[in-house]
Structure 1
Amino acid sequence: MSLFLLKRVITLLATLVGTSLVVFGVLEILPGNAAQLMMGPDASPDAVQALTVQLGLDRPAFERYGHWVYGMLHGDLGLSYAYGTPVSELILERLAVTVPLALMAMALTSLLALAAGVYAAANHNRLGDIGVMGLTQIGIAIPNFWFAILLILLFSVQLQWFAAGGFPGWEEGLGEAVKALILPAISLALVQAAILARFTRSAVLEVLREDFVRTARAKGLSRRATLWRHVLRNAMVPVITVMGLQFSELLTGTIVVESVFYLPGLGRLIFQSIANRDLIVVRNCVMLLAAMVVIVNFVVDVLYAVIDPRIKVRDA
């Protein structure tokens, strides 16, 4: 197990270093004056030169990269050009919305998808299976932003159960904050739940054909107990792969939904920073999102070994 973890940690660190080089290269080394881009084409040469010195763009690329990495390791991400505040404060403030939103969406996705997938597999080629697969096909076809608008029209405009947008802040109380995230979480979870339900169904059907399932049934174990105690655990190894990718996508793909519901999350911060030409914020946000995706994949690899010990045995 220790060798397995060591290999995964080394891969994690190497991926983070490679990601930082790519992000830095794309935003810093490619042709074009970043200071000129941030200030706009009408800025005076003196103002552009002053911003160039302020941002350290007059220094060699390797020195700027080292300074950026050193700052990230010490929590100093620089000062936002557009907002005039430390980038770390902006990111932490927006993560307080994006991470709970992604967690709520992932919880809804897992609950709906696992229940629907196992139910469809247990009723293979029956009406229940056909109905679930039809609903998942519709879920995959519906864009989450369009579904978000439908939710607003129904629950905000017609029924007036929820606010149409905005976020009151966690200081206003847990109930109010969670309530503001329910509709966005549902709109994000729809497509992901549809995809995961179909994948869960396929994985469960494959395990149901294994000999140990027939043995468990022959020993008198009920069909329900066999499904939830034995089949689902063995089917979870490939399912967890999809869940990890989906959570990464939820973290990085909230820009549209946050814009529809006017949520002050990380995705909306990136969108606003691009519009404001605030490349310092864009660079650090992109790196953060990439690091979160890499870390989620690392956690998924570790969960593999917990669920299926054969993986770490083969890896050793």
Structure 2
Amino acid sequence: MMRWTFLGVFTLVCVFFLSNVGSLFVSAMPDQIRVTIGPSTSMEKMAAKLPGSQVVNEKAGILSVPYGKVEAFIGTANTISGVFRVNSVPLDHPVISWKYYGFMVKEQMAGFLHGDFGHFRSPFNKKQIPVTQELPNMILRTCTYFIPGLLLAILLSVFMSLAASYWRGLGKVIDGIHVLLVGLPDFFLIILIQLGAIYVTKFVGHYVMLVVQVGNRTPFLIPFLTIALIPTVTIYGTMRIAIMRELGQDYVTTALAKGLTRREVLCKHVLRNIVEDLLTVLPKATTLALASMAVAEAVCGIFGLGGFIISPIVQSVSSMSLICMMLALIAMIFHLLYALLRKRFVVHTREVF
């Protein structure tokens, strides 16, 4: 338990630092903003209304602000009367700044310690919303199709591997489809599913399935099929090899010689002996399902955990870290579940000297 706890904490810490790697690459001045003002005000008045700022170049409308506070000062300056536009001051070319990365990490850690887990701008009403307020809804929305899709992938892959081993002709067809799907990227498969939904809708002449999120209406079938399809390909390959290995064992030959049918051998003996192989591949399949979920949510515009990370409309640095750690935590919960199942159902043997 100590080892698993240490590994979980270490993983979350690594995810936290990696989720902030975007702060390492700086393309704008971290301590300056450019303000376009009207004739009714001046740069000196602007600096007076923004405590901590100073005029750097009055003609160009550039103000200096505390290091790393550009976004906060831009938001405040936009609310001042007489201001037309406020933006950051771009650099000639992006640079790698460990100073800015360290500053942002310290700011986030300080915020986390004080209960501030970040805000994001809602894509619906453009308001700033605390991440913790919307997080339960995002988790529920994602799990609505993630858990059923993963369960379908497990059941479908086990069934197809058994069917392919029982009917050799069908096995050749399924193996050929498996080879084809292994070579296709996830994004391409999702686009094919979306195109299929669009063409079916046009052919039938009325609405069939939702392709992108519209308000509170969330697509189900496309992310569900995506999550089910990609892990199925991985699990099927492992289960097919495991069944072929077991069919070559002596106990199978003995069972067939005693009069048991091939179906009885597969269902009563082989299936029981490949449980360990299934539980071994499930952690990898779950990780693939999470990655497929993120891609599907991004393509379908779904405001879930994966869509939150990828969509530039709702991103903010601190909330990005929290969502990434939440995805890692979900993956670790499934890994822990698989470890408990291995301990419960897999019999381990060893030599005693």
Q: Are 2:136 and 1:92 equivalent residues in the alignment? A: yes
Letter in 1 for 2:8: L
Q: Are 2:314 and 1:269 equivalent residues in the alignment? A: no
Judge conservation of contact 1:140–1:194 (CA < 8 Å) in 2. Answer: yes
Change beyond 3 A, Cα 1:61–1:102 = closer
Question: Between Structure 1 and Structure 2, how many residues are aligned?
Answer: 285
Separation in 2, partners of 1:34, 1:88: 29
Separation in 2, partners of 1:166, 1:29: 27
Alignment correspondent of 1:256:
295
SS at match of 1:85: strand
Separation in 2, partners of 1:25, 1:229: 48
What's the Cα RMSD here? 3.6
Judge conservation of contact 2:161–2:236 (CA < 8 Å) in 1. Answer: yes
Alignment correspondent of 2:172:
130
For 1:202, which of 241, 251, 257 is the aligned residue?
Answer: 241
| TM-aligned CA deviation for residue 240 of structure 1 | 2.2
Larger helix proportion, structure 1 or 2? 1
Judge conservation of contact 1:120–1:132 (CA < 8 Å) in 2. Answer: yes
Judge conservation of contact 1:101–1:181 (CA < 8 Å) in 2. Answer: yes
Letter in 2 for 1:302: L
Separation in 2, partners of 1:29, 1:183: 30
Change beyond 3 A, Cα 1:182–1:277 = closer
Separation in 2, partners of 1:261, 1:98: 13
Change beyond 3 A, Cα 1:227–1:66 = farther
| TM-aligned CA deviation for residue 164 of structure 1 | 2.6
For 1:293, which of 331, 344, 349 is the aligned residue?
Answer: 331
Separation in 2, partners of 1:306, 1:15: 22
Larger radius of gyration: 2
Larger strand proportion, structure 1 or 2? 2
Q: Which has the higher contact order (CA 8 A, sep 6+)?
A: 1
Change beyond 3 A, Cα 1:64–1:195 = closer
Separation in 1, partners of 2:32, 2:263: 64
Separation in 1, partners of 2:152, 2:129: 35
Alignment correspondent of 1:21:
13
Letter in 2 for 1:207: E
Show the 5 A alignment for 1:5-84: 9-26=1-18, 27=20, 31=24, 42=34, 45-46=64-65, 49=69, 65=109, 68=112, 76=115, 78-83=117-122, 84=128
Separation in 2, partners of 1:82, 1:164: 23
Q: Are 2:205 and 1:166 equivalent residues in the alignment? A: no
Judge conservation of contact 1:113–1:193 (CA < 8 Å) in 2. Answer: yes
Letter in 2 for 1:236: V
Letter in 1 for 2:212: G
Separation in 2, partners of 1:138, 1:40: 53
Letter in 2 for 1:163: L
Separation in 2, partners of 1:25, 1:196: 31
Structure 2 stretches lacking a partner, 5+ long: 36-62, 74-100, 123-127
| TM-aligned CA deviation for residue 276 of structure 1 | 5.2
For 1:113, which of 141, 157, 165 is the aligned residue?
Answer: 157
SS at match of 2:121: coil
Alignment correspondent of 1:283:
321
Separation in 2, partners of 1:215, 1:127: 25
Judge conservation of contact 1:109–1:192 (CA < 8 Å) in 2. Answer: yes
Change beyond 3 A, Cα 1:283–1:263 = same
Please give the per-residue CA displacement for 1:105-159, whole angstroms capped at 9, x wherever unaligned. Answer: 2122123211111122223xx3222111011122223332222223322333333
Letter in 1 for 2:177: L
Instruction: Choose 76-85 or 98-107, whichever is displaced more.
Output: 76-85
| TM-aligned CA deviation for residue 275 of structure 1 | 5.2
Superposition TM-score, scaled by structure 2 size:
0.68
Structure 1 stretches lacking a partner, 5+ long: 1-8
